Amino acid sequence: MKRKVTALLLALAVGLVSASARAGVDLDAMLKHSQFDDIEISPDGQYLAATIPQDDREGLIVMRRSDSAITTAFTLGKDEYIYTFEWVNNKRLLIRVAEKIGALEQPQDTGQLYGLDFDQKTPDLLVGWAQTSDPVAGGNRERVAVLSWNKIPGDDHHVIISAYPYSQSERFNTAELLDVDTGRRSVLARSPIKAAQFYPDNAGVVRFAAASQKEDNASKLWYRPTNDADWKLINDEATSGVVEAPIGFSADNRIAYLEVQQASGTNVIVAYDTVSGQRKQVLRDAIADPEQIVHAFDGSDAPVGAIYDDGIPHSAFFDPQSREAQLYAMLGQAFPGSAVKVTSTTRDGKLMLVHVYSDRDPGKFYLFDTQSHQAQYLLSQKRWIDPKAMAQTQVLQIKARDGVPLRAYLTLPPGRDARNLPLVVFPHGGPFTIYDRWGFDTDAQLLAAAGYAVLQVNYRGSGNYGRHFLEIGQQQWGRAMQDDLTDATEWTVAQGIVDRSRMCMYGASYGGYASLEGVSKEPTLYKCAVGYVGVYDVAMWAADIADKSGTRGEVWAKKWIGTDAAQMAKASPSLNAERIKVPVFLAAGGEDKTVPIKHTEQMEAALKKSGASLETLYEPTEGHGFYTLEHRREFYTRLLAFLDRNIGEKSMAATH
């Protein structure tokens, strides 16, 4: 079966081209889209559903396990992606669609909810508005958005949705029972707060509602015991200082599990007794927040543990002797040195799809039989990548100048001694709540293959390390967040790993900002900088957010970016271009809606005025990050050539 499955997915994926940009780096192999993104097994184990990425859109296929026959396949329109999909019964999938303009764009949920049977040619639009040109438009055109749904254990034909009116997103919305076959809906609950997210228990009773109000962006959590009871506010971030988020119920529906932020340290999972009102901590990691909740394999959907994502992801459980804990331990032993995650199971818990990946392997899927304890290989996401030839990534613990502990990742060129290497500092975007993770990183692998050490730092303000670590990044653009990157760079120099005379910064979005701000604030530390779809004027960026998101965006920008005009100007590379004394490479897309191209154009003009060495690449049809293989190939070819001239082999030849 596995050969047939692989061949069928390969036939639907974009063909592999064997061009190389330079010796040691097969760009097309690195940049080619995965054969598929996600895959799920049906409740009865008879079918597999998988999403297939393309240049500027995504498709989905359903395949019969018994003979690997494709029973249906469809592709979305331009810039449309499958936000999430899930089997709701043995034959039917629910699919949410999102719009994404640019490879780095955060997908924006369109609110459309589709149903698709395993043998159906075109999905049914169940809820949401679709234009007549929509390639998967169905008959339901009511202006209602669905931004979440919850299955009801034991009910194959209904889910509970949080429904929002399109016209006024700040209106009080409803929780509704949706028939997944017909699209018929009935109201179960009305929100006690505007734009609420609802959380039902396992019996389909809507017990929690949560939202943040635009006036203060403070999260509020409401509770009620039955569908007829009044809502009661049980947590207000504005007064408690923490956020509480429901993650599920125990099988008997008495205990609600909440992920709770703490004033210091990492988030905890708390068991909230809905009868007595008592809260009890059941799980906490010393370093990281829960990255993914593990649910019971018995069909009850009760939370039983969590996966933590710092270094090689690891799992922990409320009951270390539980069936789920024992199975995860078994899988961990079977795949040492890799991350192991169960992505879906059959309803009886006998078969599981297991995702296995590492810093050197983009990922493989296995079908695991829980009775025979045998794992059968199914598919590789990028079968043309040889993990043995890839670079390894080290997990670093570094202290910033003020003593704040930082986590970072260092990827070293394969076959090279970790001494006097050229370094690329590669800050992540966001900046807030986003964080770098251990795993296969295309940029890091590509740069390592070209001979560079690659440093990725989870500077303050990054997610995954608790509320305090996130909040000490507030209003630290160009200040402590930037100093964290500098301090981590200096650490690698002090260890003798890198050559101080050959260091460059490269990043995208906020990472592009940090790269240009790095060579502005530390004009003698780095030899060059690359800004890809970056922010270069902090005040202009804050205004952009307010323009797009109204009062809520304005409140957020004041809290996280700041209000001090002088400080924002001081921290804006395009307003201080005269401080930049090293070569710069800028790249941007003309259709970028996240960081408008005006940021790059302003940065370019300022650098030209100051007389800096400058290269640019504009792709008018691209957005926040380039999609098409042709444009990505051009960008990375230019990137490698730029680095080579400034910190690579050509730079060394020029100094001798």
Q: Does the pLDDT of residue 539 top 70, yes or no?
A: yes
Nearest to 550 by CA among 213, 96, 87, 249: 213
CATH of the domain at 611: 3.40.50.1820
Give 600 or 23, the one with higher predicted confidence.
600
Q: Does the pLDDT of residue 36 top 80, yes or no?
A: yes
264 in Cβ contact with 468 (< 8 Å): yes
For position 195, what pLDDT does the model report? 82
For position 104, what pLDDT does the model report? 74
Over the chain, what is the mean pLDDT? 89
**80 domain residue, yes or no:** no
- Residues with Cβ within 8 Å of 396's Cβ and at least 6 positions away in sequence, in order, are 407, 408, 409, 410, 488, 491
**322 domain residue, yes or no:** no
Average confidence (pLDDT) over 119-132: 79
* Range with the poorest average pLDDT among 40-44, 134-138, 282-286, 421-425: 134-138
Q: Interior CA angle at 33 toward 444 and 600, to 5°?
A: 60
Nearest to 19 by CA among 629, 585, 454, 619: 629
Give 349 or 472, the one with higher predicted confidence.
472
Taking the C-alpha atoms of residue 521 and residue 541, their distance in angstroms, rounded to an integer, is: 19
pLDDT tens readout for residues 430-455: 999 999 999 999 999 999 999 999 99
**437 domain residue, yes or no:** yes
Edge to edge, what strands does the sheet with 92-99 contain? Answer: 80-87, 92-99, 108-117, 124-127
pLDDT tens readout for residues 167-222: 655 567 899 999 999 999 999 999 888 788 999 999 999 999 998 876 667 889 99
Q: Does the pLDDT of residue 138 top 50, yes or no?
A: no
Nearest to 390 by CA among 471, 297, 344, 454: 454
Domain containing residue 590: 391-537+572-654
**610 domain residue, yes or no:** yes
* Range with the poorest average pLDDT among 23-32, 340-349, 592-601, 639-648: 23-32
For position 460, what pLDDT does the model report? 97
369 beta partners: 351, 374
**424 domain residue, yes or no:** yes
Taking the C-alpha atoms of residue 91 and residue 463, their distance in angstroms, rounded to an integer, is: 38
Average confidence (pLDDT) over 388-414: 97
For position 553, what pLDDT does the model report? 85
Average confidence (pLDDT) over 107-113: 82
Element (H, E) at 301: none
Q: Does the pLDDT of residue 136 top 70, yes or no?
A: no
**208 domain residue, yes or no:** no
**435 domain residue, yes or no:** yes
* Range with the poorest average pLDDT among 132-141, 152-161, 360-369: 132-141
The number of folded domains in the chain is 1
For position 597, what pLDDT does the model report? 96
Which regions of 153-274 does DSSP assign to beta strands (E)?
A: 155-165, 174-179, 185-190, 197-200, 206-212, 219-223, 232-236, 244-249, 255-260, 268-273
Nearest to 406 by CA among 516, 511, 512, 287: 287
For position 555, what pLDDT does the model report? 87
pLDDT tens readout for residues 607-621: 999 999 999 999 999
For position 139, what pLDDT does the model report? 44
**248 domain residue, yes or no:** no
Which regions of 446-542 does DSSP assign to beta strands (E)?
A: 453-458, 498-508, 528-532
Residue 253: which pLDDT band, with cuts at 50, 70 and 90?
Answer: very high
312 in Cβ contact with 337 (< 8 Å): yes
Give 554 or 104, the one with higher predicted confidence.
554
For position 3, what pLDDT does the model report? 40
Give 79 or 104, the one with higher predicted confidence.
79
Q: Does the pLDDT of residue 355 top 80, yes or no?
A: yes
Euclidean distance between the first and the last CA atom of the chain, given in angstroms as a whole number: 58
